[in-house]
Amino acid sequence: MTEQAPLVSTAEAPVPANGTAEWFSGAGAVRLRAALFLPDGPPRGSVVLSGGRTEPIEKYHEVVGELQARGFVVLVHDWRGQGLSHRMLDDRLKGHAKGFRDFVEDYRALLAHFETRLPRPWFAIGHSMGGCLTLLALAHGVGPFKAALLSAPMLGLLTGKRPRWQVRLMARWKALTEPEAYIQNNPGDPHGETFESNIVTHDPRRYARNRGIIAAEPQLGLNAGTWGWLDFALSASAWLKRSPRVAAIDIPVLVLGAAQEKLVDNADQKLIIARIPKGRWIEIPGAYHELFQETDDIRAVVWREFDGLVAAI
């Protein structure tokens, strides 16, 4: 028996039609939230949609509607540690993680919970952290997916002026000694950011809409990550670079990189996607990190690539 979960609706981000959210059990029996949306007509398949760090289901209401209009059943979910899913620490605003294994098993549990309601063929879409975790799941044999599109996936992090090896060593040490502390003891200031200072989208309307979702339900909010989270992110990238399981992924995987990326490393995206026999990397000119939250012209490129990927199956 399923237990219904809430969905937050705002005037700018209404809940799409033909859908409900529910709770399911992830790794370790933690309670996680997912939502299933049906198209108006006969389905042409299913899309499993996975957001990035800090991103709740509600941020993808627009994307869900666009996929429904294309005839897909859409399954979208909150990763553990964010949205309304199980938070890992007493301070729910800390973005925390303990490696990537539980995330992969959560994804496996998600598909098992909804499998009978997901008509085939299946396609995966993952953004940023969700793109990294989707690729990890594929490498671990989760799914029977036909193809995957990864939007600016977190396959490596930009580390500024610090060399990558130094950040990796620091994160590993801190994950052992104080894993639940904020990185550099800095929780971030989500209220201090403005549209002019943001580095994820050029679209002021979508930026304001997404801020409005958190204002409507603060329980969806998330601050900066912990040392444990940073160690997870860097470890996941390192695993994807070396594991033979990545080279064994046998479905088309399309990675869309943002030309004006400020957060994740496009070079690592290209390096990892080159290991996949049917992998392909495309750079979208003029785009910041959040491709699905970008301006209409940039989003049109994203949808053109998705439509082409699906049509080729």
Q: Is residue 2 part of a domain?
A: no
- Mean pLDDT for 298-310 is 98
The mean pLDDT of the chain is 97
User: What's the full length of the chain, in residues?
Assistant: 313
Q: Is residue 5 part of a domain?
A: no
- Return d(Cα 192, Cα 180) in angstroms, integer: 23
pLDDT greater than 80 at residue 298: yes
The total of structural domains in the chain comes to 1
Residue 132: helix, strand or coil by DSSP?
helix
Paired tokens of 226: 């912990």
- Return d(Cα 209, Cα 257) in angstroms, integer: 23
When pLDDT is cut at 50, 70 and 90, the band that residue 2 belongs to is confident
Single-letter amino acid, residue 5 = A
Single-letter amino acid, residue 56 = P
Q: Specify the pLDDT at position 191.
A: 74
- Mean pLDDT for 84-103 is 97
The secondary structure element, H or E, covering residue 288 is: none
Cis peptide before 43 (omega within 30 of 0): no
Q: What percent of the chain clears pLDDT 90, i.e. is strictly above it?
A: 97
In sequence order, what DSSP letters do the residues of 225-286 get, joined into one string? BBHHHHHHHHHHHHHHHH-HHHHT--S-EEEEEETT-SSB-HHHHHHHHTTSTTEEEEEETT
Q: Is residue 75 part of a domain?
A: yes
Q: Backbone phi, then psi, for 31, in 5-degree steps?
A: -90, 125
Q: Is residue 283 part of a domain?
A: yes
Q: Is residue 212 part of a domain?
A: yes
Q: State which residues form the domain around 144.
A: 13-311
Q: Specify the pLDDT at position 284.
A: 98
pLDDT tens-place string over residues 184-233: 999 988 778 899 999 999 999 999 999 999 999 999 999 999 999 999 99
Q: Which of 11, 89, 16, 78 is nearest to 51 (CA)?
A: 78
Q: Which of 185, 287, 162, 311 is nearest to 234 (CA)?
A: 162
Of the two residues 252 and 184, the one the predictor is more confident about is: 252
Q: Is residue 8 part of a domain?
A: no
Q: How remote is the C-alpha of 71 from its chain's centroid?
A: 22
Q: Specify the pLDDT at position 18.
A: 98
Q: Backbone phi, then psi, for 5, in 5-degree steps?
A: -115, 160
Domain of residue 55, CATH code = 3.40.50.1820
Single-letter amino acid, residue 200 = V
